[in-house]
Structure 1
């Protein structure tokens, strides 16, 4: 993919940083990507067309934004650091279908943003190199608000990506895996070495695609209760399901009632949280709810 800008080259990135006297803020987790092949993989994974919309979070100096502008019909880039806004407006001036917002995405009303910015496009994907310190809150907000999203393609810390895509039984599998897989189908796209950023981060990164589900893979009577039960089962990973649930829901009584409910759900009390599938958690949650355990 070629274009006017090629902001992502190391030379151009350094030129832009110097021209505007930009200083990186460690507190905002700023690491600018300088590898065009990785950018191509990110954009390709989103499957954008001229009738698609793209929401970018944390555009930095616009390296990925520029690629998105070449691929999508409308791009909205939300940047928390107001020092970057004039840089973005300058480097993205050739692309009138790109809108730059100075906002904290965790504070933004996303339903309103989608209604305002993406009314004329067919499908919207989130495509971003997310700041690692707020990866999980941002992704959970995007998923929980049930936005009209097709894909979420993000570069995040490698270990977090592996947890999101993990299957039951492994040490990576946990409450984050279950939450992400309830709302989406995760797929690792590629591993990204730390050497392709300015400045280099302390960790390896990965690109993950979350294909947003139209309906969850399991049906539950109460979503909030389902996620509370999942959290309870992972309170202490080394403890059994029975011990974690007893501490959370039955602190002042014996184990008899709990073990009867586990038997009703078809779950052995000695199992640990990481061994249960989404379906088993759905069944367990519904059994506890029906028994008035909330």
Structure 2
């Protein structure tokens, strides 16, 4: 089995294949020998489990996943990496590498095709420039995923883990916490990568539970309200929703009063339950107000 954390081997491998890192694709390959085994172990890679990996790179994490999981499907956008992956992880019979952009896949159909009758988790070292779109694509797909264990920028990890209703939270915090609970598993230093990025990283895990589904009357309205509200988070909620979603200020003030909230409150101060209550009120009164 190839040692994909030996920097001399990795550089030789990339050189033999004429591979050059793409800044556009945010390519940083893991070379710390302790990181990928931890992600695989904590990320649910085990007998009887299917693992969807996004962006396998040269296969460092892929190798650890395939050693543990029942079946691994890795989706890779950069076709230049396919001959490298054939050399590094081609020996694994339980591994299937797909060419394409995960954002263009129907995730439920992909899981049904690749993991019929099998519980599935996601593991990935995500490119930082596209972390949020990928996470939201997975969460909004409605696919039956148990856990999502991903490497992200440290600041993003801290934002995702922040309590909804705290100053550190943002729209992505609300969105991710709506679908599941977030845990920061462990930090990863920048020198764990080749080439090293300009920021430190962290591995997080989202455990999907959909505990808020039954409380929400209109999911599209809720996420529209959250997106608009956080787009101008320093303004009062009344001012933001009146300007972006065209609600009457007097009506917004009245609803906030009924919720025992001041009319000067900002969206970042609302808990998940308060956001859901507000959205349910607004969708019922004026369901076509959102843009």
TM-score by length of 1: 0.93
Shift of 1:120: 4.8
Shift of 1:261: 2.0
Distance 1:190 1:217, change over 3 A: farther
Counterpart for residue 112 of structure 1: 109
Counterpart for residue 235 of structure 1: 231
Q: Is contact 1:218–1:278 with CA below 8 Å preserved after alignment? A: no
Cα distance in 1 for residues equivalent to 2:10 and 2:171: 38
Q: Is contact 2:108–2:142 with CA below 8 Å preserved after alignment? A: no
Counterpart for residue 69 of structure 2: 72
Distance 1:60 1:95, change over 3 A: same
Cα distance in 1 for residues equivalent to 2:284 and 2:174: 22
Cα distance in 2 for residues equivalent to 1:161 and 1:172: 11
Cα distance in 2 for residues equivalent to 1:250 and 1:31: 44
Cα distance in 2 for residues equivalent to 1:243 and 1:220: 24
Counterpart for residue 215 of structure 2: 219
Cα distance in 2 for residues equivalent to 1:167 and 1:15: 45
Unaligned runs of 5+ in 1: none
Q: Is contact 1:218–1:282 with CA below 8 Å preserved after alignment? A: no
Cα distance in 2 for residues equivalent to 1:237 and 1:111: 34
Q: Is contact 1:174–1:273 with CA below 8 Å preserved after alignment? A: no
SS at 2:102 equivalent: coil
Shift of 1:145: 0.6
Matched, 1:182 2:178: yes
Among 182, 187, 202, the residue aligned to 1:206 = 202
Among 123, 136, 140, the residue aligned to 2:136 = 140
Matched, 1:291 2:291: no
Q: Is contact 1:89–1:100 with CA below 8 Å preserved after alignment? A: no
Shift of 1:126: 0.6
Counterpart for residue 78 of structure 2: 81
Matched, 1:150 2:146: yes
Q: Is contact 2:180–2:211 with CA below 8 Å preserved after alignment? A: no
Matched, 1:272 2:269: no
TM-score by length of 2: 0.94
Cα distance in 1 for residues equivalent to 2:8 and 2:276: 52
Q: Is contact 2:185–2:203 with CA below 8 Å preserved after alignment? A: yes
Counterpart for residue 257 of structure 1: 251
Residue deviations 1:48-96, cap 9 Å, x none? Answer: 2111011111101000000000110100011000000111122212201
Q: Is contact 2:178–2:210 with CA below 8 Å preserved after alignment? A: no
Which region of structure 1 is more displaced relative to structure 2, 5-14 or 271-280?
5-14
Counterpart for residue 25 of structure 1: 22
Unaligned runs of 5+ in 2: none
SS at 1:239 equivalent: coil
Shift of 1:235: 2.4
Shift of 1:172: 2.1
Residue deviations 1:82-125, cap 9 Å, x none? Answer: 0001111222122011001111111122222111110153x111
Cα distance in 2 for residues equivalent to 1:152 and 1:126: 5
Q: Is contact 1:250–1:258 with CA below 8 Å preserved after alignment? A: no
Aligned residue pairs total 288
